[in-house]
A and B are shown apart, each in its own frame.
Chain A
Amino acid sequence: MSTVFAQAPRAGVAAAAPPRRSWVQRVFGETPSAWLYILPAVVIIVGLAIVPVFWSLLLSVQDKDPIAETTKYVGLQNYRDIFDDPAFTGAVRHTLIYTGLFVPLSIGGGLGLALLLNRRVRFIGVYRTLAFVPVVISATVQGVLFSFIFDDQFGVANSLLHRVGLGPQPFFADGGQALLLLVLAGLWAGTSCVSFCAVVYLAALQDIPPELVEAASIDGARRAGVFRHVILPALTPVTIFLVLWQTVQGVQLFDIVYAGTSGGPGQSTYVVVYYVFRTIRDSAYGTGAAASYVVAGGLLLISLTSIAVHRLRERRA
């Protein structure tokens, strides 16, 4: 657009000299074919991301019965309904507990692991490779595996406990423990596990100039001091990214629940995305859309807060 405006007066002054601009160029700018090149991507993004967002907003204020083919506008009733539904409020609570435990533990654990892997010892390449293995394990496999290991009546975990003289635990038969086991499963493997955080931290650690650390030690800083005043500050941007990323992953927890517990026992491991899945499966499209809007709203709030915090810190610095 700016080029069009910038060139418009010139075209008026000396009509003969500048090259003539076709109507295509006038509408689409200097390089109209660029639009054609990005068209496929634009169509896909608009079709698969933007349209569904608005469509589900529409769905969330409708009572749509896809089988009987009736649609009724109900305003905010779907939203009121989900907050009256103990399954949904429970799911929100479980999601918050899961995220609250998962984020600090994965980041703390990841940092610890990264510091260990950042040493110059023999076979460090092997250790680093091994540490990355859990990241590529599918969360579904993970969920099934955990449900076997921690079966209260049959699992390996209880027989180990028995061997060291401890009483058997209910594990997946108990609502509270089941949720904690899901945290453990999430930390242990999958695309957002401890190892993933470790890999990200390791890259950041290796970016810290050795001179900084050396200078600090020459100035008399001990290891703890170097860590606190040199390494940690250098890792701040990465930490902020990880907090945001892991929170999003935590809120979107679904696969290990689906494969491991199906939300049970009872509804004690229902999480919000699993709730959305169940409602859509039961063809309550309106309720499902409302619930996913609540999840999306929550994620948006988290992202905006973290950006705001980041801005504030930058301004203060």
Chain B
Amino acid sequence: MSRRLIAIVLAAAAALVLAACGGGGGGDTGSSTGAKKSSAPVAITLWHGQNLIAGKVIKGLVEQFNRTHTDVKVDGQIGADADSLQAKMTAALAGGKYPDVVYIFGPNVANLARSPKALDLTEAVKTKAWNWGDFFPAARQAVTIDGKVRAIPALIDSMAVVYNKKLFKQAGIPAPKAGWTWDDYRSIAKQLTNKSKGIFGTGWPGVGDEDTVWRLWPMVWDLGGDVLAPGGKQVGYGGQPGLRSLTLLSQMATQDKSVYIDKTSGSEKMYQVFNSNRMGMVPTGPWELPQIMEAKVDYGVVPMPTFNGKPVTIAGPDTWMLFNNGDDRARAAQEFVQWLTEPAQDAQWDVAAGSLPLRRSTAAQDVWKQHVAKIEGLSTFVDALGNARVRPVVQSYPKISEALGQSISGTLLGQQSPPDALNKAVQGGNKALAG
């Protein structure tokens, strides 16, 4: 008899466990209880994707928000590494249980905005509290799809050239100045290169992912090309703009052999070469400055070279995307993100994350001014924002980038001639646009 008793108890326990599992996968218990008792704060979840210093700062900001706001409680989680958050978010949406606020890279916004759960913030940002016009134009552009605001700028960077003063001095080359040309860039890189000492003029990521691609856009824009042709049905980098850009890369990499090509994802190795005083110049964003300073490299920053004398660079914005978990939580999420991007908080975040101000008024904050004064070359990145362009926010961008990335990588490694590589990139891009 006692065995039967045990059996029944076990069965009951198993049933309870199963029921608990089912309940956990089900849905948003948080919002339903929150709605019933109006005094309890609305709980929302944030996936910020930040590690190390940036992770600590965002954690601090979330704590600060929770302390000062009684109506909303934010649960800040990393979610995943920022690189993988888009994939994780896709899986979360498919699973039906997803956070309210997520950190998403600019090029991925258009894709995730197709979700019926992604909030449309066009009306929300019109309220005075947001002061939407205060955000830099590049930041606003990067979150606007077909005239609708689908995300909030989270971080913005621009690209400039960081150079090693010591190596320039050793090679007897004067420091580059704003207004220099790509021809100057090529010849300086060649002069800096010293094979026997293992010194490279410059570097370029060669894996063929977006890290390889985004650095090419300023050249293409400078030459009158674009990611998309007018109308958006075809790619706009074919012909002369693409050919001249790829040819320059090909000449530098295969003839001059002045380019260190990083074949691993993440471009860590390229920066390690620079930080060990073995690379003269590297086109990069402000986020690398903390590491470069830590490596005690004597560096300077100069705007991107040009073909035509008219300065142009690229801004790489990342965003906060908001997802709908019921009205209460959606409102709470907006309240949090609005607070997070206010000048005072934005300044704290930019200083720690090594990024640039999202708003004009952030740049006027004391915290930021002291920061700029402390960090060599940071002001060059901020100034570059003035002539920065962004990649178009279209759903097919990742596929276009993949096609062009393979071509750039093939050109750098000397496996494809620039015209062939360009042809393939244009075909691949058009195929992606055709769907």
Contacts and interface: CB of A to CB of B under 8 A. Distances in A.
A69 interface: yes
Q: Which of A39, A153, A172 has the most CB of B within 10 A?
A: A153
A215 interface: no
Contact of A67 (B115, B260, B398): B115
Interface in A248-302: 260-262, 264-267, 280-283, 285
B434 interface: no
B112 A67 contact: yes
A55 to B, nearest CB: 12
A33 B90 contact: no
A283 B90 contact: yes
Contact of A66 (B84, B93, B207, B398): B93
A97 B3 CA distance: 58
A265 to B, nearest CB: 5
Interface string B392-419: 0000001000000010011001010000
Contacts of B207: 262, 264-265
Given A69-B115, A264-B208, A265-B415, A148 B7 contact: no
A69 B14 CA distance: 33
B413 A22 contact: no
Given A69-B115, A148-B269, A153-B200, A265 B93 contact: no
A260 B269 CA distance: 12
B63 to A, nearest CB: 32
A314 B415 CA distance: 52
Contacts, number: 91
A66 B89 CA distance: 10
Nearest to B257: A153
Contact of B263 (A36, A261, A280, A285): A261
A36 B10 CA distance: 7
A154 interface: yes
A267 B406 contact: yes
A32 interface: yes
Interface string B294-322: 00000000000000000000000000000
B7 A32 contact: yes
Contacts of B197: none
Interface string A161-182: 0000000001011110000000
Given A153-B200, A265-B263, A266-B208, A68 B14 contact: no
Given A153-B260, A264-B409, A265-B409, A69 B87 contact: no
A266 B415 CA distance: 9
Contacts of A69: 93, 115-116
Q: Which of A67, A147, A172, A280 has the most CB of B within 10 A?
A: A67
Given A68-B114, A283-B90, A147 B208 contact: no
B260 A154 contact: yes
A285 B94 CA distance: 10
Interface in A218-273: 260-262, 264-267
29 contacts: A22-B4, A33-B3, A36-B11, A40-B14, A65-B114, A66-B90, A67-B111, A67-B114, A67-B115, A154-B273, A172-B263, A173-B261, A173-B263, A261-B264, A262-B209, A262-B264, A264-B206, A264-B208, A264-B263, A265-B207, A265-B409, A265-B413, A265-B415, A266-B406, A266-B409, A266-B410, A280-B87, A281-B84, A283-B90
Given A39-B14, A67-B115, 5 more contacts: A36-B10, A69-B115, A262-B264, A264-B208, A266-B208
Interface of B: 3-4, 6-7, 10-11, 14, 18, 84, 87, 90-91, 93-94, 111-112, 114-116, 198, 200, 206-209, 260-261, 263-265, 269, 273, 398, 406, 409-410, 413, 415
